Structure 1
Amino acid sequence: MAETLKKNEITEEHQVSESSKPASAGSQALKVKGEGQASGSSTSVQERNFGKSKTPNLTETVYRQLYTRGYQEVMKVAMDEYTWLSELPVLHSLREEATGFGSGIAMSTATATIPMPASDMVSMMMNVTEWEKSFSHIVYGSAVFGTGNALQFLQNEDAAIQNLVGVFTKVQLPTTFEPMWDFDFLRYLKEITPGLYAIVDVSINFFDFTRESNARLSGLIIRENGHDKCEIIWVDTAIVSRPEERVTIYSSIINFGLPISAGHWTSTLLWKQKRQSSAFSKLKISVHESAGPNLLEIAHEMKLFYKECVAQVPDNNMFEVYTTDEDEVRLMGIKSCTPKGNLDLVTCMCITSIEIKDKAPLSVFNFLVKKNLQLLFSSLAGPGMPGQVLEFATDDGSNTITLHRKKIGREYIYYLQEASRGEYCSFVISRPLTEDEVNTFIINGAESVRDLSKEKLRSAAVSGFAIMPNGLGPECGSLVTWVMQLNCDPITDFINSVNAVVNGIYETAEGVKVERSLFACIPFLRSEGNDG
């Protein structure tokens, strides 16, 4: 089904635009733009270079069967878990139809109240571009594929089916140790009653138990709760085709299904919504009214850069990889890195993942929030200590953007850091900012970051950490992926930094407590470091 696709060639058929949202949840049917019409907004899927799925060669009957069985499986699990749903008269017949029908598929479930109208939630989910951005902790990239006249056929049989989208996506763990997982599936939207919606994702091969590729069945039930909130039930299961002989430090959480469980999707969505409501505090510089949106956009691009660094196949327009897939440390050069004032930006990145035993992800996260800044400023010469000049954070502290600076000569050197705390995955990521950038985007607000090209936003090397739990429970241990800028003596700097970080986490003066030799895979660097 996959085809090679150059950039800017992904079609956007069947995506819902802003103008197609209903005025209020349940007030009218959600409308879809006609086939071939553009969505009217720039999209990340158009900027990525990965396979596009063409319209699958399915009969209308197969589209109907996939919808019917996927919807029944999802709703059966949801009604078993949440009694208010099973008590709805409109679903009584569905329970009778589903009796004896279930295949015993194990599915994770989660529920949450989301601070956005139900209609907005529906539109976000059905617009693949917005869906991808909302779940950037999980989704690396996505595209849509055509479904022919299937929607019209389905609506002739059931007018409550309002939309159908073909989705191709890549799911990414923040590590170079695991490949990305490709999924393609059909996304159906049904309005059960006014203000109550069901969105069902079902892979074409999900019910084919001889399948050899990844498959997914997921359901999202959305219920209107006032004008500015909605309640959701998320039901999810994914089957990943992974060789049994493949064993990495991430194998246990993959076996538990944690990376793409219902809880991970809902917690990521809640984090995204809270992040949008961040507020300034601890200000030591003036900020323009557009500074908040600019900081959110810059930090989002930082995360995309970080995710590209740990991608299975990094963008060859951005990076040149010097190591192989068999190596435990990835070393790669940045092909284009723009000098910024006094900042002597490095042109190499080093990435590895390590297992931190018996240390909970939250304690590791809190340590790395401080340690990351120490590492960044330790390479800058000159007297004086760096200081924080602003904080832009959520009220619960789940996301904090801070700006720090140190004076070197007549200029200030700035670093921007975003610390995102989550139950399933946390990030501590930073990048340098020049004095001109701080003045332009934060203090004066003369320009919007959205007006910049993505290449310019991503021209500065990003560094930082991704932290995931290594299993279930509060003391399950942690999995940490580190993306680090390399300076003039890379191997020495990196060895010392890894030692400092791991020793700090374990609060010991002993050597690195990991079971692997982190640097055995790059002996040529060790030799060069000794020679230099």
Structure 2
Amino acid sequence: MDSGDEQDVPDAKGRKKRYHRHTPRQIQELESMFKVCPHPDEKQRMQLSRDLALEPRQIKFWFQNRRTQMKAQHDRADNCVLRAENDKIRAENIAMMEALKSVICPSCGGPPTHEDSYFDDQKLRMENARLKEELDHVSSIASKYLGRPVTQLPPVQPVSVSSLDLSVGVYSGPEVNPTLDLDLLRRNCSSAFPYPYTPAVSELEKPLMVEMATGAAEEVLRLVQTDQPLWVKSGSDGRDRLQLEIYDRMFQRSGQHLRFPHTRTETSRDSAPVAMNAMTLIDMFMDASKWAELFPSIVAKARTIEVLAAGMASSRSGSLVLMYEELQVLSPLVPTREFCFLRYCQQIESGMWVVADVSVDYPRDNQLGLSPRSRRLPSGCLIEETPDGYSKITWVEHMEIDANDQPHVLFKDLINSGTAFGAQRWITTLRRMCERFACSNVAGLPGRDLGVVSSPDGKRSMMKLAQRMVNNFCANVGASSDQKWTNVSGSNDVGVRVVLQKTSDAGQPSGVVLCAATSIWLPVSAERVFSLFKDERTRTQWHILSNGNTLQEVAHITNGSHPGNCISLLRGLSSSQNTMLLLQECCTDASGSVVVYSPIDLPAINIVMSGEDPSYVPLLPSGFAILPDGRSAGGQGASSSSTPMVGSSGSLVTVAYQIHLSSLPSAKLNMESVMTVNHLIGTTVQQIKVALNCADA
């Protein structure tokens, strides 16, 4: 079949560029397909490729160019119509203006008044009432957070609240868009903003928030740089613990920060070098979407509500952002923690920045339905550049929690010890993620690391696909407000929790997906559990869907210094399953581990390995989240129930499966599906216990 001819065409610089000309038959077939389907999927493009003897990439580019051409034609036609309509309206407007010049008032003989003075007075009264209400609201914020009434504040204009340089105002530069994606927010945030969207912070509130943020930055800096007696080493785990009485005296906070009738306080501090330069870190911290991508196992959701100050473009110094986030532990049993907070970045000296967070009462809490049961007192980190291109991070977490919110008995020790949301978890996760980013940029790797991945572009594409898989798993296994978990009967004390989700994203199967999860306590270390799940040779011991089929690793990509941090491509040795593979990523650090996997067919993985964009490869990840149970080592053996035994130490394991129920968005959960899920989860849990020699736990 004739696939067209090629000729050399000189470009603007005189160089010759290879230009492909399609045959009339190819163009006719492509045009016919375009009329039926302007956006062909991968299978349709592959069929056209075979029929017309063209590369899939050529088919893809032709349709992209044709859609662009069609859009340009429509735009030109629309512009012509709008131009004519605009000319007509302009002419009518000129005619009306001329007619108004000759109109006189019938009662006084003069020109008519534009509005009734009565309505002017009414509008002024309404505006005055609105401003008074807003001033009362600002005064209540000032007295609560700044410790003095609003009458004692400096004048609003000009603002002079600190020696720190701030440029207050909504940033309208090219890098940050302060407006909200309303549709996205309604899907992924428990607090959907009212429509139409209005600015979150009034001009009267901005100076107060600036003062709160700068004060928080100064406090974080002192918390980072002060040791004893403000901080002491804990005798049980050697971590830094804040002495609250000394803290209250030092910062004159006693009784001012309490919000709930009964509270408990979580404080922690940790420090470590990370493999990323300081400016890249700061850019990721100040961007809500990048912040969530950097910590997928901790940050369930994050949104920028409003950018209050852009800061300096070169250093981000002076940047101030009002943000919302939801923090999670990877289990449906642990409620998330919601925060609406200010994040402020300030450069202290050359090569040193402080990034500070402090919770703030959102001005429209009642409208948004926010009901946070936790509050972040001044927290954050000090970022210092090091000569080797790394950064030293010192992290401080300081929260007050509603004491009435008691965690599930399985996670009680982990939560109450402050480990679940403490500084060490943030630091260890950040170190691992920075190592992952560094590995994705390494050009030359040993042969085993590359396996069947043929190019650096293929390696990066594989890592991008695996990261999306892990992010999807973390987003679907936690107790985020998006997840309406239903408890169904199960084989352990916790039971099996299920949630139905309608998906239409290109990277997921379309229709209804069932996520089923359960959490168990095991009297073995988290490291031993991770080793069981990571090793493909022991997979048949717990993976009932493998049907006893042994798996072989055909590709391996290292993504961290720990040998357990890696991406694998697994293939069944059975000849009947050679077209279906498993993509698996293992992540581990001192705070916990995840093992996530998803089936993927051979044509899709070939596209990814060639370096193409993996965004449209469908994934349905399942896997495990493994956490230490928060108890000290030196336990007394296995307990006879799923409740941790006093004095013992072990691990908390969340088992999660995602199952595509139906391609129809109206599908419902039926009894057969419930029984299938119960059997799948229950059998998996039992086989895990058998493999770890703790079947009676």
**TM-score (norm. length: structure 1):** 0.72
CA shift, 1:332, in A, is 4.2
Residue 524 of structure 1 is matched in structure 2 by none
Name the CA distance, whole Å, in 2 between partners of 1:52 and 1:227.
44
Name the CA distance, whole Å, in 2 between partners of 1:140 and 1:323.
24
Residue 163 of structure 1 is matched in structure 2 by 319
Residue 49 of structure 1 is matched in structure 2 by 188
* Aligned partner letter, 1:479: L
Tell me whether 1:367 sits opposite 2:527 in the alignment. Answer: no
Residue 275 of structure 1 is matched in structure 2 by 436
**Greater Rg by CA:** 2
Match of 1:123 among 283, 296, 311: 283
Match of 1:356 among 503, 510, 522: 522
Where structure 2 has 5 or more consecutive residues not aligned to the other structure, the ranges are: 1-164, 194-198, 230-247, 255-264, 363-370, 440-444, 635-648, 660-672
Name the CA distance, whole Å, in 1 between partners of 2:551 and 2:168.
52
1:299-378 matched pairs, under 5 angstroms: 299-312=466-479, 323=488, 328-333=495-500, 335=502, 348-357=514-523, 359-370=524-535, 373-374=539-540
Q: Mean Cα displacement is larger for which, 249-258 or 264-273?
A: 249-258
Name the CA distance, whole Å, in 2 between partners of 1:410 and 1:482.
25
Instruction: Give the 3-state SS of the residue equivalent to 1:132 in structure 2.
Output: helix
Residue 395 of structure 1 is matched in structure 2 by 561
Residue 273 of structure 2 is matched in structure 1 by 113
Instruction: Work out whether residues 551 and 570 of structure 2, in 8 Å CA contact, stay in contact via their aligned partners in 1.
Output: yes
1:58-457 matched pairs, under 5 angstroms: 59-81=205-227, 100-101=250-251, 103=253, 107-146=267-306, 148=308, 151=309, 162-204=318-360, 213-216=373-376, 217-226=378-387, 228-241=389-402, 243-244=404-405, 246-278=407-439, 279=445, 281-282=447-448, 284-312=451-479, 323=488, 328-333=495-500, 335=502, 348-357=514-523, 359-370=524-535, 373-374=539-540, 379-380=545-546, 385-393=550-558, 394-406=560-572, 407-409=574-576, 411-442=578-609, 444-445=610-611, 447-449=612-614, 452=615, 456-457=616-617
Instruction: Work out whether residues 417 and 431 of structure 1, in 8 Å CA contact, stay in contact via their aligned partners in 2.
Output: yes
* Aligned partner letter, 1:504: A
Instruction: Work out whether residues 355 and 480 of structure 1, in 8 Å CA contact, stay in contact via their aligned partners in 2.
Output: yes
Label 1:31 to 1:440 Cα distance change in 2 as closer, same or farther (>3 A).
farther
Residue 479 of structure 1 is matched in structure 2 by 652
Instruction: Work out whether residues 498 and 516 of structure 2, in 8 Å CA contact, stay in contact via their aligned partners in 1.
Output: yes
Percentage of pairs with the same residue: 21
Name the CA distance, whole Å, in 2 between partners of 1:269 and 1:82.
26
Instruction: Give the 3-state SS of the residue equivalent to 2:280 in structure 1.
Output: helix
Name the CA distance, whole Å, in 1 between partners of 2:277 and 2:169.
21
* Aligned partner letter, 2:599: P
CA shift, 1:37, in A, is 4.7
Label 1:433 to 1:377 Cα distance change in 2 as closer, same or farther (>3 A).
farther
RMSD of Structure 2 on Structure 1 (CA): 4.1
Residue deviations 1:59-92 (CA, integer Å, cap 9, x gap): 3453244234323332222121399xxxxxxxxx
Label 1:286 to 1:305 Cα distance change in 2 as closer, same or farther (>3 A).
closer
Label 1:289 to 1:465 Cα distance change in 2 as closer, same or farther (>3 A).
same
Residue 629 of structure 2 is matched in structure 1 by 470
CA shift, 1:241, in A, is 3.1
Instruction: Work out whether residues 319 and 346 of structure 2, in 8 Å CA contact, stay in contact via their aligned partners in 1.
Output: yes
Name the CA distance, whole Å, in 2 between partners of 1:474 and 1:71.
37
Name the CA distance, whole Å, in 1 between partners of 2:316 and 2:273.
24
Q: Which has the higher contact order (CA 8 A, sep 6+)?
A: 1
Instruction: Work out whether residues 542 and 684 of structure 2, in 8 Å CA contact, stay in contact via their aligned partners in 1.
Output: no
* Aligned partner letter, 2:200: T
* Aligned partner letter, 1:429: V
Name the CA distance, whole Å, in 2 between partners of 1:38 and 1:474.
52
* Aligned partner letter, 1:49: N
Instruction: Work out whether residues 365 and 467 of structure 1, in 8 Å CA contact, stay in contact via their aligned partners in 2.
Output: yes
Residue 12 of structure 2 is matched in structure 1 by none
Name the CA distance, whole Å, in 1 between partners of 2:590 and 2:455.
33
Relative to its length, the structure with more helix (as a share) is 2
CA shift, 1:468, in A, is 0.8
Instruction: Work out whether residues 322 and 332 of structure 1, in 8 Å CA contact, stay in contact via their aligned partners in 2.
Output: no
* Aligned partner letter, 2:570: H
CA shift, 1:39, in A, is 3.5
CA shift, 1:415, in A, is 0.4
Residue 72 of structure 2 is matched in structure 1 by none
Q: Mean Cα displacement is larger for which, 488-497 or 218-227?
A: 488-497
Instruction: Work out whether residues 469 and 477 of structure 1, in 8 Å CA contact, stay in contact via their aligned partners in 2.
Output: yes
Name the CA distance, whole Å, in 2 between partners of 1:463 and 1:235.
33
CA shift, 1:289, in A, is 2.1
CA shift, 1:275, in A, is 1.3
Instruction: Give the 3-state SS of the residue equivalent to 2:590 in structure 1.
Output: coil
Label 1:137 to 1:102 Cα distance change in 2 as closer, same or farther (>3 A).
farther
CA shift, 1:142, in A, is 0.6
Where structure 1 has 5 or more consecutive residues not aligned to the other structure, the ranges are: 1-28, 84-97, 514-532
Residue deviations 1:267-322 (CA, integer Å, cap 9, x gap): 11100011123356535535222122112221222122212332335868xx9968
